[in-house]
Structure 1
């Protein structure tokens, strides 16, 4: 059963960025690994008669769930409420399950490696879609290039935690090339800030950063030489989209802020941003009446109110606190510095995207808390041993 939990936990993380490919095979195939993980975890804990070690995150996730259900009940008549509530709630459950599984059965590096592996496959798909399928911007396993960039830039900092050093450079090159092929400005900003954090915390050296930048320059030069027409078309497409995105995102952020101000207690319900956008924006976008907010903080706040937003930010804050506690006592700093940098990349990228329905932030929070639980259990065992 332990092996099964390890496989399912890693599969859940690895397959997350490949959701689009899985849905092409069957609409519900992407739910199989998480569903089996939850069922197997429950069966294992019942068999062992052993339940998760309590942590503040469990209370926060439970409160988040209560807010989500209460908001859903109040806005049950909305056309999107039940669908989005059913999409959101499993992420809270999966986060709690991953905390316990990674704290007991699955090594932290195995989960981080699974995240990198899934992103690597997604990056290869991204490059294939751009070069061979003629897409103006890389999509691959995800319909939106910006969502794809989110997965790739969040995975890149995790490379410093992996032991297989000789493979890191080529894997990093593929991830970076795939992210660049999406032409996502938010992804670029997120990755730059994550790199600054790693340098500041001495997770990577300036020499490594310089070598990475040089490698990206070589890749870019090769792309210009061998795929010039494709790049020209993609850049023209991006210029057109970029000018539109700046205006539309400002409109959507303003609309989300109005919804939050008008409904601070429980928001407008899960998915309510879409159904209320036309009214809140005063029909600012005639051709797009039901969009997403393109900002995770404003969208969660608008849909679940201030309590929901506080729960989300509280979970992220607990993750950062947990990583710092682990760093103080750990001889190997790389895994937790990698998690911190990836969280920063995810949070920055989510300023321009609505990513609460994708796994990276939730899995990173889970890994951070699980690492803290591991350390605390070792300290308790050592304390007991000293007193015997």
Structure 2
């Protein structure tokens, strides 16, 4: 208890100093900080759950100097560093199958940073990436103590809360699209990550009221998706649903002809309700995907036309610098130098409207950091999917079917992130780096459980 007592003494001195300063109202904050530090010291996993909970809420605090997630992350990082130093945490927890790929990726990243076309933009990109790397390391250290059902609950509930704001408050909408004060596609991506976890909670809940509660959360997520007007979100949801139906095909085989009447009744209720609830603008946006059969026409759909220009610019950047790219974060700079930026600039636009990101994380990495780094980044995502799937097989082999199903849903959430990165520029996404690290943790835990049962 030496460390907690020293923290108490330190905070007491800080409180006395604040009381004697012109800012005495800050003294209670020091007490709250001490309480939070003690909780994180005893239960670091709660800190990681807090970070995950705050991710969808970051738009509410984006104008602040430090967001709640960053504040918790900094405190958690300091506490875990202290615990590693005094031997309370074992360094073996940092083991991960991702380290080799990540080390090579960071090597190419730093070389690209060194040769960047614009060092200022690249340093800003590095600062954002460091946040993701910190989440990766924290998850490796804490992941073994993380309660996965609680992880599913906090992700589902936090995204549902923002869906409520996006549905019923114009403050959290932009041009009629729910944004949660973030990018609409980023919000849609969070919904696709939360949906498989919400479905797992609904399927595994044994008490009917709780089951109905999680079913209601899933319906709220669907309503939030329609309000984002995200075409890519609907595509990802359909793919996720198809995989889930295939995974539970054996349970579906238990459906008897007498159940078809209830199914038809449900369809008769849901279809008219969906037609009444889904905005007409969203239906029109989904219908516009049919134009892809005959090629992209910028006159019919400006958004698809603009995304096609991103591919042209990215291809040219890769041709000019295939190994190290043009430098992290420099895609908007190169795009602004093309005629595309002016052609697709909105009416009465300002100079900053010419600088656009690629809306495709893979394209950005390949063009900004180079082909080797891009392949390594894709390899890390593929390895995470493989780890989750192997963990699923390991739990199923020893009869832990609930845990195996959880691995299935985590795999689908990881796949949703991987697919959505084709429509979204966010290489520092906290969900991404959390899932990369968690895949190694759950695979190691499942492999050890299978080995112990085999030895027994």
TM over 0.5: yes
Match of 2:104 among 63, 74, 86: 63
SS at match of 1:357: coil
Aligned equivalents of 2:69, 2:453: Cα separation in 1 = 41
Q: TM-score w.r.t. structure 2 length? A: 0.74
Aligned equivalents of 2:149, 2:300: Cα separation in 1 = 37
Match of 1:148 among 175, 181, 187: 187
- 2:220 matched to 1:174? yes
Point out which structure has higher relative CO (alpha carbons under 8 A, 6+ apart).
Answer: 1
Aligned equivalents of 1:95, 1:87: Cα separation in 2 = 13
Offset of residue 205 of structure 1: 4.6
Q: Which residue of 1 aligns with 2:54?
A: 15
- 2:356 matched to 1:291? yes
- 2:255 matched to 1:255? no
- 2:412 matched to 1:341? yes
SS at match of 1:368: helix
SS at match of 1:96: helix
Match of 1:196 among 242, 256, 260: 242
Q: Which residue of 1 aligns with 2:274?
A: 220
Match of 1:305 among 341, 354, 370: 370
Over aligned residue pairs, what C-alpha RMSD do you find? Answer: 3.1
Match of 1:352 among 399, 404, 423: 423
Aligned pairs, number? 375
Offset of residue 10 of structure 1: 0.6
Aligned equivalents of 2:244, 2:285: Cα separation in 1 = 33
Match of 1:107 among 147, 165, 169: 147
Q: Which residue of 2 aligns with 1:246?
A: 304
Aligned equivalents of 2:451, 2:234: Cα separation in 1 = 42
SS at match of 1:159: helix
Q: Which residue of 2 aligns with 1:266?
A: 324
Offset of residue 92 of structure 1: 2.2
Q: Which residue of 1 aligns with 2:43?
A: 4
Offset of residue 296 of structure 1: 1.4
Identify the range of structure 1 (25-34 vs 189-198) with the bigger mean alpha-carbon deviation. 25-34
Offset of residue 212 of structure 1: 9.1
Match of 1:362 among 428, 433, 436: 433
Task: Assess if the C-alpha contact under 8 Å between 1:23 and 1:29 holds in 2.
Answer: no
Aligned equivalents of 2:339, 2:102: Cα separation in 1 = 35
Offset of residue 336 of structure 1: 1.0
Aligned equivalents of 2:315, 2:54: Cα separation in 1 = 34
Aligned equivalents of 1:300, 1:72: Cα separation in 2 = 12
- Go from structure 1 to structure 2 and tell me whether the alpha carbon gap of 1:136 and 1:76 turns closer, same or farther (over 3 Å shift): closer
- 2:119 matched to 1:78? yes
Task: Assess if the C-alpha contact under 8 Å between 2:391 and 2:443 holds in 1.
Answer: yes
- Go from structure 1 to structure 2 and tell me whether the alpha carbon gap of 1:134 and 1:313 turns closer, same or farther (over 3 Å shift): closer
Aligned equivalents of 1:214, 1:83: Cα separation in 2 = 52
Aligned equivalents of 1:122, 1:276: Cα separation in 2 = 35
Q: Which residue of 1 aligns with 2:28?
A: none
- Go from structure 1 to structure 2 and tell me whether the alpha carbon gap of 1:133 and 1:310 turns closer, same or farther (over 3 Å shift): closer
Task: Assess if the C-alpha contact under 8 Å between 2:51 and 2:73 holds in 1.
Answer: yes
Aligned equivalents of 1:328, 1:69: Cα separation in 2 = 37
- 2:163 matched to 1:123? yes
Task: Assess if the C-alpha contact under 8 Å between 2:307 and 2:359 holds in 1.
Answer: yes
Offset of residue 19 of structure 1: 1.2
Aligned equivalents of 2:269, 2:102: Cα separation in 1 = 41
- Go from structure 1 to structure 2 and tell me whether the alpha carbon gap of 1:90 and 1:24 turns closer, same or farther (over 3 Å shift): closer
Q: Which residue of 2 aligns with 1:227?
A: none
* Rg (Cα) greater in structure: 2
Q: Which residue of 1 aligns with 2:4?
A: none
